[in-house]
Structure 1
Amino acid sequence: MKRTLPALLVCASLLVVAGPPAVAVAPSPTVAVRHASARAVTQPSAAFGPSDLVPGVPRTVREPGRQLHIEYVPRSEAQRPGTRALRCSAATGPYQRQAERYLGREVDGRQSAGDCRAIRRFQQTHRIAPATGFAGPVTGAMVRVMRARKDPNRAGHCPDRAERTVCVDLNRQLMWVQQDGRVILDPVAIRSGAPTMETRTGTYRIYLRHRRHISNLYGTSMPYAQFFDRGEALHGVYEDIFSGAGSHGCVNLTMTDARRAWEVLDKGDIVHVWGRKPGV
């Protein structure tokens, strides 16, 4: 019985469908590992655990028409409807040291008035809300993106080829594109597969591109979809890239980054995926 093409295009790592052969698919030794939490961007902290942090901006006060990255903050610092003035946070966030190091502050892991002002400016620049200077998981993720831009492949995990290669680093939740030793698309934040639906590791090629794809399994929009392995694709999402447990196996990008990747890449380009999404 013939299978229709749309039946093959689903973004679910648990669905087995036929796809083109990979370029030397290497099974990951970490595939069987399950994450301890659904929150993709948080990590343990001595001061604040995942259950202590909440989205800092309620939906009712998020700015319409402007994509914001919603930081997780202590419950006592969450912005309430009708609140305008935001105080500079005195709390030390789980990513305090990383923020201090990147911003050239004294790396002591303790929040100060100067630290807060510097982190707050960083958050405002990168559309992180509420911009209170609390170094939460979203601020930490953005620090990783910015630090990676200097030399994303410093550890050498992504193969250096003459062909365009998409480098998907699940450890840092980053993606960039390189070719012949040169980065041609700077590192950007990604959201990979949720627990039990992890993005598969290995080396593949983009075998299908669809600018306005709709998942036939989930009925969800997958703009700028570039499929590389049995239904898994690079594609844009309309929600915040840092929200939720993760994808159904796809590599999610902001709409802006998905559009840039679409313009840079083409059918047949290599996609190399390695690592493991951090747990909590």
Structure 2
Amino acid sequence: MRRNHRTTLIANTLAVTAVIAVAAGCGPQSGKAGAGAPAAPGSPSASSSTAPSPSASGATRPSAPAAASASAADDKPGGAPAASRASATPAAKPAPKVLMANGSKGDRVKELQARLAQIGWFDDTPTGTYGAVTTAAVKGFQGRRGLPATGATDSVTWDRLLGMTSKPTAQELAGRGVNKPAAKLDARCMTGRAMCIDKTSRTLSWVVNGTVQSTMDVRFGSQYTPTREGVFKVFEKSRDHVSTIYHTAMPYAMFFSGGQAVHYSSDFAARGYNGASHGCVNVRDKAKVAALFDQVHIGDKVVVYW
């Protein structure tokens, strides 16, 4: 009787131990035991399918109901599903369409050149061929208006130009009678003696007591070396000046702000508005600037404005 009781006690203990072992199991080892295969000694039992199993990164993988709950939460107002969140990122804005560029030819290019001439950015006869001269003119127009200075005429550049110009006449398309904007004298130029320099019309007017004595075409520095704006005074004149920085000739130089001066430019005379100065006011008509040099006195005003 005592032996039977001991035997029963041992059997019950073994049964409880087996139950505990099964309850602690968490699924088969990946790549070790296949479906229906016995677990290795000491490994978790393959019979447990409800407990969470560790992922490769050590995080607990949610059971099917938990995953479904997470998806449902994502679908609630205020939170997009995971798949749609990725696609909800706004697409990059497409680049403007290029309408004309270096190498283009035709009537539209000629119209482009004539329109640029109206606002002083094209200084040659329209040819209908988009070459280096037109590329440089478009690049200057773009840079001045905060557009990407590519030199190619895209839809944004073209629309901006159309808004600033009028349809070219037959004479303008032939390079004659360009409707260049007239210089508008700044109020600061109307008293005393002043070189009145208008960046919009790209002209210099020599004004004495409100009366214009002469006017000449000028060009300015690039966006990287801009010509300063404001009211200055001529503090030095040098008839045969040579730049000590760039070692280039600056005849009839009239200095008004640091190293910036009004002077004749052979490069401007040769290339027109396809180039730029390092900040000086270039004059391309040598006879006119020579006459101006003889009239301007030290202390005369220089007004540079838009």
TM-score by length of 1: 0.49
More helix by share: 2
**Which structure has the larger Rg?**
2
TM-score normalised according to structure 2 size: 0.45
1 or 2 for the larger relative contact order (CA 8 Å, sep ≥6)?
1
